[in-house]
């Protein structure tokens, strides 16, 4: 696999989780990530709207100061239906990943189990799924 360079927007309000996730992605070997960060959904949505070029993916926490739960995913998806969203959460709920995907996310990772390769894999799979969805119909 050849190296890939991706630009991601991390929407996360917990500074410890920001450091953990950023360091995890810095440690992967096949993909180079440029991470931009927002602590509130509104700030993240503004960055998405202003981004040129657009972000390759959105890493989205489900518990933010200005939005929580599936509404967070819905709002991000409405703002950028063409950008894959990977959910990051501390919640270990068996049904939540399926609900998040129905709301517009492409993948789901729990923070307690995340490491660089797992997060990289989730992002790359989300990109592939989004590319399929973005293809024009036959």
pLDDT value of residue 104? 93
Query: What backbone torsions phi and psi does residue 115 show, to the nearest 5 degrees?
Result: -140, 175
Give the helix/strand (H/E) hosting 2: none
**d(Cα 91, Cα 95) in Å, to the nearest integer?**
11
The pTM for the full model equals: 0.93
Cβ pair 44, 11 in contact under 8 A: yes
**d(Cα 131, Cα 21) in Å, to the nearest integer?**
24
- Per residue in 56-103, pLDDT (tens digit) is 999 999 999 999 999 999 999 999 999 999 999 887 778 888 899 999
- Per residue in 27-44, pLDDT (tens digit) is 998 899 999 999 999 999
């Amino acid at each position: 696999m050849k190296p890939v360079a991706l630009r991601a927007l991390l929407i996360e309000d917990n500074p410890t989780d920001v450091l953990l996730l950023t360091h995890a992605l810095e440690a992967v070997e096949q993909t180079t990530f440029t991470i931009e960060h927002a602590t509130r959904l509104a700030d993240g949505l503004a960055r998405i709207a202003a981004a040129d070029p657009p972000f390759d993916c959105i890493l989205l926490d489900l518990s933010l100061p200005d939005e929580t739960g599936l509404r967070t995913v819905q709002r991000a998806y409405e703002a950028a239906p063409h950008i894959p969203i990977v959910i990051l959460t501390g919640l270990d709920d068996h049904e939540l990943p399926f609900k998040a995907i129905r709301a517009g996310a492409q993948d789901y990772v729990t923070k307690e189990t995340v490491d660089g390769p797992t997060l990289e894999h989730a992002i790359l799979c989300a990109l592939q799924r989004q590319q399929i969805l973005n293809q024009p119909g036959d």
